[in-house]
Structure 1
Amino acid sequence: MEDIIAYRRPIGRRITPQRIEFRRRAQSAEIGTVTRAQLAVLVQNLTCTGVINGTESHLLLALINTAPAESFDRTGRPIVFKSNRQLAFEIGRSVGRVSRMLSRLFDVGLITTQDSGNYKRYPIRNADGEITDACGVDLRILIVRYAELHELVKEVRAEKKAAEAALRRYRGALRNTRYALAAAADLGAAARQRVAGRIERISSYVEVAAKAPSELLRRATFLLEWTIDRLMQLAPRYRSEPAARKTTCVYVENGMHKQITLSYQSKRSNDEQCLAHAEEPNFSKAGASKGAFEKSLGSRQSSVNEQYDQRKALVALQEVLRAAPALRELGYKPNTWADLVRLTPMLCRYAGISEDARRRAVEKMGEQQAAVAVAITLEKTNRQDVSSPGGYLRAMTERAAAGKLYLARSVFGLAARNSLEAKHRDIGQT
């Protein structure tokens, strides 16, 4: 008969690479650099970081207070050799609960253990009665990690204060925006409904403000404050000067892209869709101002026409940012195309573009070209040339499906328009 080897269940403390590493680090502790009082304060503050809970903090504080104060001096050895039964009695928990909590504290690197052969905890003394070694709970790892854990507590406190400040500012901005909307007497019914819908979209995107990340609250606050500026008729910088509004580029973007010629108040959504279909220039009825605009562009129009005659010509990201300064006004400055693509859903929600319209644009154009189209739509909405951004984007999607969309021409047209407005504004200031 073959010998049967019975493999017994492992008995003893669980060993992991992390626990071995913590034991090694504990042996390199410089005793005397941290006092027992400092460790006690640190342990009480660790609960705010989420590393340990309140009961584990209570047990760890009991271990620290058990070690004599002189054991944290240079010649001391902060090792506690109380039994689990005694610790359970002191903190009011069961022995099994104490055992599990000690294992948890070992896993997170707040204690280590020096075990004897029978897992009993006791000190080892010399002939003079001095403790030379001990088998028990070793607290030296706390001395090694004191600076790290103290910095973690400071960071969590700073983040908590920043989150509370962001929450207060967001709630104040939301209240002020709704009050500004109610006080805007000169705002039309359609525009009032559009702004109210924008405010509700921002509020629904944040959802529960008390649980939202501070970065999201800061973004939402910026959008709300920007909406307040628009309601109070504080125009963006590139439209703040009267000379900028009187310049020729209000009526035409450039020789490659026909721009809307009617005022914002009298424009309807179906006209805006026609605007998205109108990509060819038409200067038959242009006045002297348009002729002056063509003359100011000069040879640049012909060179750009030759370079971007293809329908799907790609443009640089910097040109898109020049064409759509509304991105910078909203606090966005994408450094790569991937950043702009990730921002597109947020821009659509702010501009009032439905998810279906954005998804169809991505299907027909691709993610990068759809992001450019959304940026163009947002810029024209910000300029009050478009009052139905969703319809405008859908019209661009239809032209892209038919192979008649010239995104590059639109980008360079808006960029030229912005540069001319800036030049006229500088001349007006001088």
Structure 2
Amino acid sequence: MQTGSVTTPFGRRPMTLALVKRQVATNEIKAGKSVDKWKVFRDASEAREELGLQSNSLAVLDALLSFYPENELRQDAQLIVFPSNAQLILRAHGMAGATLRRHLAMLVDAGLIVRKDSANGKRYARKNGAGEIENAFGFDLSPILGRSEELALVAQKVVAARAAFRKAKENLTICRRDVRKLISAAMEEGADGDWAAIEAMYLDLVGRIPRTPSMADIANILDEMALLREEVLNQLDTQQNSQFYSTNDALIEQHKQNSKPESSIELEPRSEKEQGWTSSKPGRLAMREPLKAFPLGLVLKACPQIADYGPGGSVGAWRELMSAAVVVRSMLGISPSAYQDACEVMGAENAAVAVGCILERAHLINSAGGYLRDLTRRTERGEFSLGPVIMALLRSNGERALQAG
């Protein structure tokens, strides 16, 4: 490959150590290496933003590659092209001269081409007696060949990130539609519940979606919207179960009234060990609710303080969160019996989340133990769910972050 030694730029263009490094790298390309120039161009196009390039930069790169006569860039070939600015402007669809020079400089800064300037700054080639190019001055395309694998990896990451972003936006759109229609149906059909407050939560979430959201924005809003959807469905499901049991009680009562005295059929008392029922204390009977598995990352966003009490000052798993909750329980003065009752009724994971929520609002709570016992009783009656509490803390933490910023 006829790249020559390190050369300095012509005229007022300064020499930098980065340029030296790039020129040295062109001399270290693996022997026999080759790559399709248009494949590399497509990879560079996908990686445009990562390389700090603009669309016009790609137009100039496309023009430069068009002056290389073969489709494959080869390590043992002459990879310097030497078109004049007039020729480049023509193939770059009439780009202005100043714009052309600016984007040539951007391609050099991005490490995709290297200038090899002649003594007078002109671009040309010298040929030997056999008509072969002996020496050329212009733009060396060797860096594209040398970085072909790197550009391919960056392009793959960009494509994957774009697909993930598109999928997250689709999921948010579906989740948003579900919540909106479920709330509307509940309000129109007169379902029990504070649907105005839930709708306000929904509108708040929608209002926080930026005009041009990032992946992090979409992920955060999607987590909260999914949690809100879960709460809406849970409230509707609880109401449906309540109506079912009320109807069932009426049917049982009707059966008792209509049954004949001589009938030998009797209603057997329900065993506390029967599937679907649990007893947290003697004389207490409660329907076992399925454990709501809140994402751990979402819980830690809502309750960041509890992570300081985990093993090593951090929480990375549910077991570590429950370990931290035991420490916080003691610190807040919550008795072991109160915490045990919460674990039996809510489940160990949800009890730990509840302690984390109490820690976040500890400055507003007079008795943490009494507060947890009240939450346990309300959970047992089906009157309390952690979802709205987590959402409120998420909003509160988000507002504090914006104020701090």
TM over 0.5: yes
**Residues 44 and 151, structure 2, Cα contact 8 Å, conserved in 1:** no
Does residue 1:39 correspond to 2:40, yes or no?
yes
SS of the aligned residue for 1:72 comes to strand
* Matched letter for residue 108 of structure 1: A
Cα distance, 1:233 vs. partner?
A: 1.1
Q: Deviations over 1:305-346 (max 9, x none)?
A: xxxxxxxxxxxxxxxxxxxx76xx231248xxxx93x54389
Aligned to 1:229: 233
Which of residues 187, 193, 205 is equivalent to 2:191?
187
SS of the aligned residue for 2:139 comes to strand
CA RMSD, Structure 1 to Structure 2 (Å): 4.7
Cα distance, 1:90 vs. partner?
A: 3.2
Aligned to 1:203: 206
Aligned to 1:167: 169
**Residues 80 and 137, structure 1, Cα contact 8 Å, conserved in 2:** yes
Cα distance, 1:99 vs. partner?
A: 1.7
Aligned to 2:283: 289
* Matched letter for residue 135 of structure 1: F
Does residue 1:119 correspond to 2:121, yes or no?
yes
Aligned to 1:29: 29
Going from structure 1 to structure 2, the CA distance change for 1:242 and 1:54 (only over 3 Å counts) comes to farther
SS of the aligned residue for 2:237 comes to coil
SS of the aligned residue for 1:157 comes to helix
Going from structure 1 to structure 2, the CA distance change for 1:398 and 1:232 (only over 3 Å counts) comes to closer
TM-score between the two structures when normalised by the length of structure 1: 0.55
Going from structure 1 to structure 2, the CA distance change for 1:58 and 1:234 (only over 3 Å counts) comes to farther
**Residues 34 and 72, structure 2, Cα contact 8 Å, conserved in 1:** no
Which runs of 5 or more structure 2 residues have no equivalent in the other structure? 1-9, 240-271, 286-290, 307-326, 333-338, 352-357, 381-405
Q: Deviations over 1:227-284 (max 9, x none)?
A: 343144179xxxxx996985443xx7xxxxxxxxxxxxxxxxxxxxxxxxxxxxxxxx
Which runs of 5 or more structure 1 residues have no equivalent in the other structure? 1-9, 236-240, 253-287, 293-324, 348-367, 386-391, 419-430
Distance in 2 (CA, whole Å) between partners of 1:82 and 1:25 is 24
Aligned to 1:344: 303
Aligned to 1:152: 154
Does residue 1:17 correspond to 2:17, yes or no?
yes
**Residues 111 and 142, structure 1, Cα contact 8 Å, conserved in 2:** yes
**Residues 22 and 112, structure 1, Cα contact 8 Å, conserved in 2:** yes
Distance in 2 (CA, whole Å) between partners of 1:130 and 1:142 is 23
Distance in 1 (CA, whole Å) between partners of 2:137 and 2:232 is 67
Cα distance, 1:21 vs. partner?
A: 1.8
Cα distance, 1:100 vs. partner?
A: 1.7
Structure 1 runs of 4+ aligned residues shifted over 6 Å read 241-245, 382-385, 392-395
Going from structure 1 to structure 2, the CA distance change for 1:38 and 1:225 (only over 3 Å counts) comes to same
* Matched letter for residue 57 of structure 1: L
Cα distance, 1:115 vs. partner?
A: 2.0
Cα distance, 1:187 vs. partner?
A: 3.5
Q: Deviations over 1:61-109 (max 9, x none)?
A: 0000101117734531211112234323432123232222111111111
Q: Deviations over 1:182-227 (max 9, x none)?
A: 223463353x223223222322333447555442354244324423
Higher RCO, Cα 8 Å, sep 6+: 1
**Residues 43 and 61, structure 1, Cα contact 8 Å, conserved in 2:** no
Distance in 2 (CA, whole Å) between partners of 1:15 and 1:194 is 64
Cα distance, 1:393 vs. partner?
A: 8.6
Going from structure 1 to structure 2, the CA distance change for 1:179 and 1:88 (only over 3 Å counts) comes to same
Cα distance, 1:163 vs. partner?
A: 1.4
Going from structure 1 to structure 2, the CA distance change for 1:74 and 1:246 (only over 3 Å counts) comes to closer
**Residues 167 and 210, structure 1, Cα contact 8 Å, conserved in 2:** no
**Residues 123 and 131, structure 1, Cα contact 8 Å, conserved in 2:** yes
User: In the TM superposition, what are the counterparts of 1:72-87 in structure 2 within 5 Å?
Assistant: 72-73=73-74, 75-87=76-88
Cα distance, 1:399 vs. partner?
A: 4.8
Distance in 2 (CA, whole Å) between partners of 1:224 and 1:158 is 28
Going from structure 1 to structure 2, the CA distance change for 1:226 and 1:120 (only over 3 Å counts) comes to same
TM-score between the two structures when normalised by the length of structure 2: 0.58
Distance in 1 (CA, whole Å) between partners of 2:41 and 2:77 is 17
Does residue 1:64 correspond to 2:65, yes or no?
yes
Distance in 2 (CA, whole Å) between partners of 1:115 and 1:124 is 13
Which of residues 318, 322, 332 is equivalent to 2:296?
332
Going from structure 1 to structure 2, the CA distance change for 1:245 and 1:42 (only over 3 Å counts) comes to closer
Aligned to 2:105: 103
Cα distance, 1:110 vs. partner?
A: 1.0
Which of residues 177, 190, 197 is equivalent to 2:179?
177
Distance in 1 (CA, whole Å) between partners of 2:305 and 2:202 is 14
Cα distance, 1:43 vs. partner?
A: 4.3
Cα distance, 1:165 vs. partner?
A: 1.7
